A = this chain, B = another copy of it.
Amino acid sequence: MKFIRVHMSEKTVVTETVPDAYRGIGGRALTSSYINDHVPADCDPLGADNVLVFAPGYFSGTPLINTSRLSVGAKSPLTGGIKESNVGGTVAASLASLGITAVVVEGMAAAGQCRVLEIDEAGNARLLDASDCQGMRTYALVEKLKAAHGENNSITCIGPAGEMQLAAASIQTTDLDGRPCRAAGRGGLGAVMGSKGLKAIIVRRSGKLADPLDDPDAFKAAAREYAKAVKADEFSGEILPALGSAALVAPINEAGAFPTRNAREGQFEGADRISGETMARIIRERGGKNAHKGCAGCIIDCSNEYVDPDGRFVTSSLEYETIWSMGGMIGNDDLDAIARLDHLCDDIGLDTISTGVAVAVAMDAGYRSFGDARAAIEMVEEVAAGSAFGRILGNGPAAVGRHFNHTRVPVMKGQSMAAYDPRAIQGMAVTYATSPMGGDHTAGWVVDQNLESFGGTLDRFSADGQVAASRDTQIHMAAVDSVGICDFAQSGLASPEGIANVYRMVAAKSGNPFTEQSWRELGLRVLRAERDFNRRAGFTPADDHLPRMFYEEPLPPHNKVVVISDAAMEKTFDF
């Protein structure tokens, strides 16, 4: 129950008791409340007034499975609004095991300064000079930091893109194998970390100082039930370990909702060559790893290690969103190239979604040809080289669109959509348009409610019920992101008994009653804070609209457009 407060201008580190206003919350609830309370909404996101907050989910460090989720929050240089981006790996568990509720990074180093923050096994933190790490890519950086500080650390860091303060820069963090392959990718939070002159946070793993549970037995009983449900579910218990999130390629493409060649089409003719089934077979044949464990406390094992034909490591973990952004979205059906691009982004410290979409926009503008994977690799390498074009690309798809005066740019609030075309899954139109996060799938993933094959009951081409579905899911996800349960472990809370276990665990940790009503209030608290910040940052209802291309260009093969009006979108947050 402590904050580590780091001031980069003054080079001070202070440990303090968690202020009352932030007790009993974690993850996104903590980061979004804190940012809304303390960051001037009109500040420069890359200036000294912005604050970068790292907060494990409320359940991190407890016996519940799949809760090593770290929320990172700040004002986003990509959207100009508030941002929370969360990530797995081991860092959330490590921080929570040291009783650290949040690391709050304030101020701004003088230009050219480069520091790391080290947190030891007693939970003490200190800032160290890291001039010798300046400009390093993340994989080499992590090796160097492990050599100096020991293997038994979680390392959360930025690459050259973050140091250059590019708006699509990610924050990378290490998985169970100590590779910086997990990304808090969205919103350019790596640029905020770069602006603060903070290259990495090194946290000793396996601390013994976790916050106590009020009723450990009750917690563990509910946690056991929860884990059982996750194991019993077909998607989290069988499909994800077998194929990873790439399992989605086939059904989303089949649904005509797989944005292809900068969302000119909804089906990619090369989908079979980049599907989860193909990926798992290639990995198996080459001696890589499927059903790999990437995050602390995980029982799903959706991760993988993708290897080249000689069995050498290429990347981990190859995920659905990246296979889309570096595959269908740029017309590329070469899975080896996708894996290479995924690794490059992790190594340079770039969001794979924004970067792939930025490449797609450049190709759509005629800068290179769709399907030219070598050109894509060269373009991403340019980001690391810091060339004029590289910096534009590293600032994301909206910057690329501005550069080429190209208007087919599938972004909302400056951030690209993800791998579900809203014209074929109307519910995603609402989430993309209205989420305070900008274009984002995890903020309100209503794909399952829209697709019959996923058990959905909504007509995916109709507006009926979509605003309500997105609203409820956004409220729910704001709460999920606050307790810090992995998205893929949501099978554990899908049933009334499952979600009741979550309420029981919150109560068993805090000692206070927690009900269905409390859950909704938690989600609403988060969204209200985020909406309040964005309004003060200058957002208006017009910022909750989709780009016109989704209304004007029918998407093959179904040839539908978005049918939810701007006025209907604006009702999403009438609560």
Q: List 10 A-B contacts (CB under 8 A).
A: A165-B405, A391-B403, A392-B403, A395-B403, A399-B402, A536-B542, A538-B538, A538-B542, A538-B543, A540-B540
Known contacts A388-B392, A403-B392, A407-B47; A42/B164 CB under 8 A: no
Instruction: Tell which of B41, B44, B399, B540 touches A407, judged by Cβ atoms closer than 8 Å.
Output: B44
In A105-164, the 8 Å CB interface with B consists of 164
The answer to whether the Cβ of A387 comes within 8 Å of any Cβ in the partner chain is yes
The answer to whether the Cβ of A46 comes within 8 Å of any Cβ in the partner chain is yes
Known contacts A388-B388, A388-B392; A407/B46 CB under 8 A: yes
From A47, A387, A392, A545, residue with most partner B Cβ within 10 Å: A392
Complex: chain B residue closest to A195, CB-CB: B405
How many residues of A sit at the interface, in one of the four size bands?
20 to 34
In A512-562, the 8 Å CB interface with B consists of 536-540, 542-543, 545, 548
Looking at chain A's contact residues, is the secondary structure mostly helix, strand, loop, or mixed?
loop
| Set of chain B residues within 8 Å of A540, measured between Cβ atoms | 538, 540
Known contacts A538-B540, A540-B538; A164/B405 CB under 8 A: yes
Complex: chain B residue closest to A111, CB-CB: B366
Copies in the complex: 2
The answer to whether the Cβ of A22 comes within 8 Å of any Cβ in the partner chain is no
Complex: chain B residue closest to A366, CB-CB: B111
In A2-46, the 8 Å CB interface with B consists of 41-42, 44, 46
The answer to whether the Cβ of A488 comes within 8 Å of any Cβ in the partner chain is no
The answer to whether the Cβ of A235 comes within 8 Å of any Cβ in the partner chain is no
Mark each residue of chain A from 498 to 511: 1 if its CB lies under 8 Å from any CB of chain B, else 0.
Answer: 00000000000000
A197 CB to nearest B CB, Å = 13
Complex: chain B residue closest to A404, CB-CB: B391
Q: In the docked arrangement, what's the CA distance between A44 and B402, Å? A: 11
Decide: B538 and A405 in contact? CB cutoff 8 A. no
Q: In the docked arrangement, what's the CA distance between A545 and B44, Å? A: 13
A413 CB to nearest B CB, Å = 11
Decide: A402 and B395 in contact? CB cutoff 8 A. yes
The answer to whether the Cβ of A389 comes within 8 Å of any Cβ in the partner chain is yes
| Set of chain B residues within 8 Å of A391, measured between Cβ atoms | 403
In A387-446, the 8 Å CB interface with B consists of 387-389, 391-392, 395, 399, 402-403, 405, 407
| Set of chain B residues within 8 Å of A545, measured between Cβ atoms | 42
| Set of chain B residues within 8 Å of A195, measured between Cβ atoms | 405
In A221-240, the 8 Å CB interface with B consists of none
Which 10 pairs from chain A and chain B are nearest by CB? A388-B388, A388-B389, A165-B405, A538-B542, A538-B540, A42-B542, A44-B407, A46-B405, A391-B403, A47-B407
A111 CB to nearest B CB, Å = 9
Instruction: Tell which of B42, B388, B395 touches A387, judged by Cβ atoms closer than 8 Å.
Output: B388
Q: In the docked arrangement, what's the CA distance between A164 and B402, Å? A: 11
Complex: chain B residue closest to A367, CB-CB: B388
Mark each residue of chain A from 292 to 309: 1 if its CB lies under 8 Å from any CB of chain B, else 0.
Answer: 000000000000000000
